Structure 1
Amino acid sequence: MPAQLGAHEIMEMHEVLTDTIDGINQFELYRPHVTDPQLGTILDNQIQYMIQEYNQMVAAVNQKMQGQTIPTRQFRQRPISTPSYGLNNPTPERPNASIQEMDDRDVASGMLGCAKSSATLRMHAALECADPQLRRMLTQGAVSCAEQAYETFQYMNQKGYYQVPTMQTNTTSTMMSMYQPTYGTSPQIQ
């Protein structure tokens, strides 16, 4: 018997599939502007994963419509480095005056923004799904996009493109010591 899918599920899958197509196209537009071989490898691997994920989602929805179960696949990023914290003479930022100014930092930043946005969209879509298999596939997709974002962040951090500001130790300690464990029990419902 074919599976029943709710209107929300169909509309959310439409949004996620469109977002995936847009992401693949966006990354393909970036490719000619990459000069760093390391970034090129990251970009190419992420494009390949996005294409495979897109094809898997299309197949999964079609299988679901026929009442079959659907598999999931996870993006596996390679660790690049331990994050570097603190600001070290950050480069001033401004929009490029022309496409010829696009560089590796611009490409990586665009990749990072795309992955973050896609992770958010997939998680939102998962929260709207009644079907547990679609929900699992979308949740895994959100995690995979988060891994793609972290891989890109690691590259940017290593190159000094994405510096992580810190607070003074006493500020961090003061803020975090505000939170204490609770030892109470939950109230009894009468």
Structure 2
Amino acid sequence: MAANYGAHEVMELHEVLTDTIDGINQFQLYRPHITDSELRSILDHQIQFMSQDYNQMVQAINQKGMGQATPYRAPKTQPVYGLNNPQPQSPNTDMNEMDDRDVASGMLGCHKASATMRMHAALECADPQLRRMMQQGAINCSEQAYEVWQYMNDKGYYQVPTMKQMTTDTVIQSYNSTATGQQQLS
């Protein structure tokens, strides 16, 4: 009898499921350190979504073909560009020093790593449904990361450095379309 999944799929899925558990647990550790109600709301919503995502993955693999990843929806705001008196940063010397910036930064890092892991897993999947589930999971992690990034940007925790407009224009204008890309393919 043939196996339902390939070895790479099973091992990548194992890594993704373990990473999801670790992310949920990590976020639960952060919760007592949050003072901002907006960040607490984001964290609680993301824990709930991550838990549902985990359950959907488990259901999908146990009942092959039964389930799809649900897209993550987060509000979008306009990013703030430029540096505005960024505060110096250094590691905390005690866990009681953890603040909202630390929590948000940890959440952001978790989602970035999970997005990368899930996309890597998708590239190892032979099963089309499992592959799509991993791809959607990577997109979801990316969306959750962006939601946290928006919060950080709005609070001034994650500022976006810019270059002089002349430098930006020089870099952007150094690229031209390829002649092949402009022709219709037969």
Shorter-chain TM-score bucket reads over 0.9
Question: What percentage of residue pairs aligned between the two structures are identical?
Answer: 65
Per the alignment, in what secondary structure is the counterpart of residue 142 of structure 1?
helix
CA distance in 2, matches of 1:111, 1:26: 8
Counterpart of 1:146? 142
Shift of the alpha carbon at 1:162?
0.2
Counterpart of 2:40? 40
CA distance in 1, matches of 2:181, 2:13: 41
Q: Which deviates the most, 36-45 or 175-184?
A: 175-184
Q: 1:60 to 1:185 in 2, by over 3 A?
A: closer
Shift of the alpha carbon at 1:74?
1.0
Counterpart of 2:179? 183
Q: Which amino acid in 2 is paired with 1:49? A: F
CA distance in 1, matches of 2:60, 2:180: 46
Unaligned runs of 5+ in 1: none
Unaligned runs of 5+ in 2: none
What do residues 111-169 of structure 1 show as CA deviations (whole Å, max 9, x unaligned)?
Answer: 00000000000000000000000000000000000000000000000000000000111
CA distance in 2, matches of 1:108, 1:171: 31
Counterpart pick for 1:123 among 114, 119, 122: 119
CA distance in 1, matches of 2:3, 2:119: 22
Judge conservation of contact 2:9–2:124 (CA < 8 Å) in 1.
Answer: yes
Counterpart of 1:72? 69
CA distance in 1, matches of 2:180, 2:112: 37
Judge conservation of contact 1:69–1:133 (CA < 8 Å) in 2.
Answer: no
What do residues 62-90 of structure 1 show as CA deviations (whole Å, max 9, x unaligned)?
Answer: 011xxx343221111122x2100000010
